[in-house]
């Protein structure tokens, strides 16, 4: 590996990571004015988290493997857990560490942790047309806010706003817990689904429908509503992946109804996000679920529900919607954060 090609004139390399509960992806990032994304990501390696005892161990392994020890290493690491405190405890891994101690142990020049969803949001301005699929609306308006939501294990939400400083424009991410906004049904079927879930949950947020677990709950609700059937055994239960597959191949009517309702509710929710900040820069759908059924989403009432906002429908009718298809948005977002001042 010719690491010197990754270094700038200050003998510095930019290390980026996307750290999940199962895998950790590591790479190097350099600015590239000639590229569409204005950034080049190289030397990507994916490791199984369970193969290492700590984050320090896997980072040290990568640094040694890529012969980075002689360089000044700046690191931006996206991680699937809160990063506000020095002590980080991962939700789905027995990894706990101090940010300060990690920087000192690995002799890093700089270290910044960001939430994994912040990373996904920061990737959006760098996406090419080949890394996203448009689902209706007008053209994106440069310099306007961008919203993103991502049905996956949960329902992530973030907003990007351009901020001008010293004559330069940079993107700032405002993340939060928008996925936990109260779910609002708009027809009789959705009201019945809400009633069903309320028998299980004291409070029903959009995340209770717009997530992998949410799709399973929609299926269970519709099975009861349409057929009076209740799932009582593990064998009867369908996973979100099973429901999606059966809906697409039309082998299960309730699965089709479930995925259709999922898409329609997602349209309403995404439209709500567009209204909050007048997101004429676009509303983006991320996460691991929706890219599996983009054509199904297009043929649903997703866009109609997105646009139907009464007197303010003119805002949502114009705002474009996209599904992110880039496979490494976390790495791309981490690169955007670490290189934003150079791009």
**Whole-angstrom distance, CA of residue 60 vs CA of residue 40:** 22
H-run or E-run covering 65: helix 55-65
Q: Is 120 annotated as a binding residue?
A: no
Q: List the helix and strand counts (H, then E) for the chain.
A: 11, 13
**Whole-angstrom distance, CA of residue 316 vs CA of residue 136:** 10
Q: Is 17 annotated as a binding residue?
A: yes
Q: Is 18 annotated as a binding residue?
A: yes
Q: In what order do the strands lie in the sheet with 110-115?
A: 39-48, 23-31, 12-19, 72-79, 110-115
Q: Is 21 annotated as a binding residue?
A: yes
Nearest to 157 by CA among 203, 211, 103: 211
**Whole-angstrom distance, CA of residue 18 vs CA of residue 38:** 19
**Whole-angstrom distance, CA of residue 308 vs CA of residue 306:** 6
Q: In what order do the strands lie in the sheet with 155-165?
A: 132-134, 321-324, 283-285, 146-151, 155-165, 168-175
Nearest to 69 by CA among 11, 10, 5: 11
Nearest to 158 by CA among 336, 327, 284, 268: 284
Q: Is 267 annotated as a binding residue?
A: no
Burial environment of residue 311 by CB neighbours within 10 A (0 to 12, 13 to 18, 19 or more): exposed
**Whole-angstrom distance, CA of residue 323 vs CA of residue 137:** 13
Cα→Cα distances 91→83, 305, 342, Å: 12, 34, 33
Q: Is 276 annotated as a binding residue?
A: no
Annotated binding-site residue numbers: 17-22
Binding residues for ATP: 17-22
């Amino acid at each position: 590996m010719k690491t010197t090609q990754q270094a700038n004139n200050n003998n510095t390399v930019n290390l980026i990571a996307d750290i999940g509960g199962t895998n950790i992806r590591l790479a190097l990032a350099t600015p590239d004015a000639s590229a569409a994304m204005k950034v080049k990501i190289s030397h990507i390696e994916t490791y199984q988290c369970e193969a290492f005892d700590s984050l320090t161990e896997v980072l040290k392994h990568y640094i040694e493997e890529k012969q980075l020890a002689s360089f000044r290493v700046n690191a931006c690491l996206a991680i699937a857990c809160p990063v506000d405190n020095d002590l980080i405890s991962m939700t789905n891994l027995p990894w706990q560490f101090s940010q300060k101690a990690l920087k000192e142990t690995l002799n890093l020049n700089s270290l910044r942790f960001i939430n994994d969803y912040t990373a996904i949001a920061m990737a959006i301005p760098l996406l090419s047309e080949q890394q996203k699929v448009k689902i209706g609306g007008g053209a994106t308006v440069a310099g306007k806010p961008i919203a993103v939501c991502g049905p996956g294990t949960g329902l992530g939400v973030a907003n990007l706003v351009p901020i001008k400083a010293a004559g330069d424009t940079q993107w700032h991410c405002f993340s939060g817990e928008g996925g936990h906004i109260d779910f609002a049904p708009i027809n009789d079927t959705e009201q019945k689904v809400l009633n069903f879930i309320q028998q299980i949950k004291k409070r029903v947020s959009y995340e209770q429908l717009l997530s992998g677990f949410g799709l399973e709950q929609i299926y269970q609700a519709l099975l009861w509503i349409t057929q009076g059937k209740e799932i009582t055994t593990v064998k009867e239960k369908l996973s979100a992946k099973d429901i999606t597959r059966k809906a697409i191949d039309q082998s299960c009517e309730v699965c089709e109804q479930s995925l259709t309702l999922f898409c329609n509710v997602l349209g309403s929710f995404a439209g709500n996000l567009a209204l909050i900040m007048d997101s004429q820069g676009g509303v983006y759908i991320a996460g691991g679920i929706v890219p599996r059924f983009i054509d199904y989403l297009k043929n649903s009432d997703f866009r109609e529900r997105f646009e139907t906002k009464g007197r303010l429908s003119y805002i949502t009718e114009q705002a474009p919607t996209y599904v992110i298809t880039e496979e490494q948005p976390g790495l791309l977002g981490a690169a955007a954060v670490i290189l934003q001042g150079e791009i």
